Amino acid sequence: MRLAIEEPIMFSVLQALIDVGLWDAWTAVGGEKHVEDLAAIAKKGVDPELLRHQLRLMAANHIVQETGEDRYAPTAFSLALGDKGTHVAPALRIRTDHIAQCAMHWPAFLAKTDYRKPVDDSDSCYVDSFPERKTFFERCSANPVHQESFSSFMDLWAKQKRPWPEFYDTTALLEGADLSDGSPFVVDIGGHHGIDLLRVLHKHQDLPAGSLVLEDLPDVVASVTLATDTIKTVGHDLFAPNAVQPVRGSRAYYMHAVLHDWSDETSVKILKQVAAVMKPGYSKVLINDIVIPTTGTSCYQATLDCLVLQASANERTEAVWNKVLSEAGLKLVKIWPDGRGYESVIEAELA
């Protein structure tokens, strides 16, 4: 009942109430309200009778609190839905924009492809699920709404994870770094809004200006505002024709939840770009990603594995990581688990 009916219906109603602007309006005025009053303040006209049905479901799922007949009070979560600073509402829309339709298409896609593991980034279940026939990142680039839901979700998701300098030894990494000539300490490839570099800066507050480099698509880094000169931004498209990694000789090249979005073949190409600019005996590749255990995979890890599989990517075991690294001219040095059964930092260097 929960899987088949309750969860999808609850989410569809929640999204509809986001769309009519109920949460924004209610957060602005606050307080307990009658259903008629809530219908009146919604930014788009909504039938009070329709809203009555939907708020019953929101109360049953503890999104709002029922205080009497047709009376409701906001909760911390419903207030967050209406607070644009939290990014909760656009983050939830990732299900509507990206996840739900692809997940529903998965059985049909597997039947269509004779139940073979998908490995072609350009002909994935995700591509086959939408009329545009674009990859995930192509759809995001083409539609600001799709990009917003992805970006908002990634920002919230990153905040739930354990900061990587807490389980990887960035102190030892820094002690072995030569930053005297302006060389970078860490280049965060696909670093989005820079939360992982800010976590490095929080631990190592005396790093010189420009020693941390946030690298992502030009449109992404153009939208980033960072109140520090320690982090500089560099726009780079990994998949541009004849793409070359623009930052040479960094102490570390860091990627968080980047390679799990791509097939092994594409991941090798990305890593080869990095290997070409690394300094032998000095530079490190640090991949913050899932390492699937040989037994006892957590629900989180298995879910992410099947999610990215729909984009013809996959999470990887240590053996597969070794293979991918080796094909890119790298060797695995050490795996640093986060202690929560989520992700690990995979440390590698030139072979």
Catalytic sites, residue numbers: 260
Q: Taking the CB of residue 144, how many other CB atoms lie within 10 A of it?
A: 11
The DSSP element (H or E) to which 232 belongs, if any, is strand 231-235
- Interatomic CA distance for residues 86 and 152, integer angstroms: 9
Per the DSSP assignment, residues forming a β-bridge with 130 are none
Contact assessment for residue 129 and residue 102, using Cβ atoms and an 8 Å cutoff: yes
Q: In this structure, what is the dihedral angle of CA atoms 98, 99, 104, 106, given to the nearest 10 degrees?
A: 90
**SS3 at position 213:** strand
- Interatomic CA distance for residues 144 and 34, integer angstroms: 35
Question: What's the distance, Cα to Cα, between the start and end of the chain in Å?
Answer: 52
Tokens of 268: 């090798």
Give 31-92 as a DSSP string: S-EEHHHHHHHSSS---HHHHHHHHHHHHHTTSEEEEETTEEEE-HHHHHHH-GGG-HHHHH
Helix and strand numbers (H, E) in the chain are: 17, 12
